Structure 1
């Protein structure tokens, strides 16, 4: 799904610990996107930055909000989302108890290339 006429892009996943609730975290990610000059010209189209909240909370909760759906509505059908998530949380379970890893084989597979960058922090 999505436009096939755009350049390749880098997709990554991070696991963070935050005191913010999900909506406040969404507002923060939107401020970061705006600071980088994000503009959205078409659905699933190219943009300089796109920060999505895929899952939220150790309890692995579901959120249904007009501005935020958790798990992210497209995450479970995108190998380029699932594979990076599984690299940092290989035993992750969805709110319904299903293993996230079970969804990878159900996805349309893309020609993904793994890029490794060492960002050691001291």
Structure 2
């Protein structure tokens, strides 16, 4: 049975846009995952550990028949393939892929919590998610994205639209 899941992607090392593009392509190439929608890209200030470069962030909706745990493992494998090394919590990274939502499911495991525990507290996640969200109350929450963005009005100002990424293989002349 297929489920629509939402992923948050971020990069602040190397060619940030290319890191995002490659992550989307690699996710879409995996068995059991099909990219449905991608948000515009936003430039955002670092969160947590602030002594680092600014991020490019976006959200991706995928259709998947993988379990939440399998989807997480696939995302982590893509991160490793693109050179992600975890040294400092919230530190610099070539790519970060967070599993934000998995259908209407709630998951609470030691290594995986869905909805993502910081979802409603981070404008840099909510703004791009709103662009691809099909509306309504967020699963596991009691309000809409717009409600949470209203509460984060000051943080919301630090999320600046950067542009779009053409990720589809063969459609980007610079990809050859």
Category of TM-score, reference length = shorter chain: 0.7 to 0.9
Indicate how the Cα distance of structure 1 residues 81 and 63 shifts in structure 2: closer, same or farther if over 3 A, else same. same
Indicate how the Cα distance of structure 1 residues 92 and 41 shifts in structure 2: closer, same or farther if over 3 A, else same. farther
Pick the structure with more strand per residue: 2
Q: Deviations over 1:41-99 (max 9, x none)?
A: 11111111110000111xx2211111111111111100000010011115142234422
**C-alpha contact 1:38 1:47 (8 A) present in aligned 2:** yes
Compute the TM-score of the two structures, normalised by the length of structure 2.
Answer: 0.62
Compute the TM-score of the two structures, normalised by the length of structure 1.
Answer: 0.88
Indicate how the Cα distance of structure 1 residues 36 and 120 shifts in structure 2: closer, same or farther if over 3 A, else same. closer
Indicate how the Cα distance of structure 1 residues 68 and 25 shifts in structure 2: closer, same or farther if over 3 A, else same. same
Distance in 1 between the 2:59 and 2:52 partners? 21
- Structure with the bigger RCO (C-alpha within 8 Å, sep 6+) is 2
Question: How big is the alpha-carbon RMSD for the aligned residues of Structure 1 and Structure 2?
Answer: 1.9
Unmatched 5+ stretches in structure 2: 1-46, 172-176
Question: Which of 46, 52, 72 lines up with 1:26 in the alignment?
Answer: 72
Q: How many residues align?
A: 120
